[in-house]
Structure formats: structure tokens, C-alpha cells
């Protein structure tokens, strides 16, 4: 159960095809609650001190999956904090707006896949935590 606002677990169907492996499919507005405009993946996280994220978004929505290995996703909605281990390729987390997120504790060969609702825009990022907290409080 997710205790932070603006996020939820997303489970994609897992179709097991015997000796030929498994497949999971994510479709816009079906499995993913928005139209997908950007897909990116993060890899080569061999440095045990690697930290990704450390920001929130004003309008961008995302779903993040760990398609290989595992990592720790820390979530903060300005009031509640929560940590989730992602280690199943068909289970992701929907990240809504104004949700501070940080990724750490990457296993070797970890690969993250992110589906995003819009194209990259630096203006959409909130990279200062104190500014994030002020913005969240103002929205309440």
C-alpha cells in the first residue's frame, strides 16, 4: 500500500511463454494512466554510491520500472515519506506531480525503465528540496 500521495503501484500483466521467456506490455491509458510521450532507461549504475532523481515535477507524470536487478525508490509528498524496493520487471510505481523521488541502492546490472507523459523540459523540474516543500504547502 502506498502512503504517499500522487503515486501508486502499477502491475503489468506477465505472460509466461514456457521456455521462450516472459513478456509484459504497457499500453498508454490502459496500464499507464497517461499518454506516453517519452521513454528512457537508466543503466551502468555500478557505483554503489550512485543516487538518481533528487527532484520532483510540476506537471510531468511518470511510471518507473526496474526491468533488471533492483533498487530502492524513496518517495516524499511533502508530508509522508515512503520507501519501495523495485525488483520485479512487471511492477512499477506511478509518480505523479509534486512527488519528490530519489533512487539508490542499485544492484549490479540494474536497469530502470521510465515512461513519461511529456517531453523533457527543465522548467518542469523542482530540484531544490526546500523550494519543493514550500510549493507543496502552498498547494494545500
Q: What residues are labeled active site?
A: 55
d(CA 105, CA 36): 27
Q: Please give the distance of CA 113 from its chain centroid, rounded to a whole number.
A: 8
Cell 512487471, residue located: 90
Amino acid at each position: 500500500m502506498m502512503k504517499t500521495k500522487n503515486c501508486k503501484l502499477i502491475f503489468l500483466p506477465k505472460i509466461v511463454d514456457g521456455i521462450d521467456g516472459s513478456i509484459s506490455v504497457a499500453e498508454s491509458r490502459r496500464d499507464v494512466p497517461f499518454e506516453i510521450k517519452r521513454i528512457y532507461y537508466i543503466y551502468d549504475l555500478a557505483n554503489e554510491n550512485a543516487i538518481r532523481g533528487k527532484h520532483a515535477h510540476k506537471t510531468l507524470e511518470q511510471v518507473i520500472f526496474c526491468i533488471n536487478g533492483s533498487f530502492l525508490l524513496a518517495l516524499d509528498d511533502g508530508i509522508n515519506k515512503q520507501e519501495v524496493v523495485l525488483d520485479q520487471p512487471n511492477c512499477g510505481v506511478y509518480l505523479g506531480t509534486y512527488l519528490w523521488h530519489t533512487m539508490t541502492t542499485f544492484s549490479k546490472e540494474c536497469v530502470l525503465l521510465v515512461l513519461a507523459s511529456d517531453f523533457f523540459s527543465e522548467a518542469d523540474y523542482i530540484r531544490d528540496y526546500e523550494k519543493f516543500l514550500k510549493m507543496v504547502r502552498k498547494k494545500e
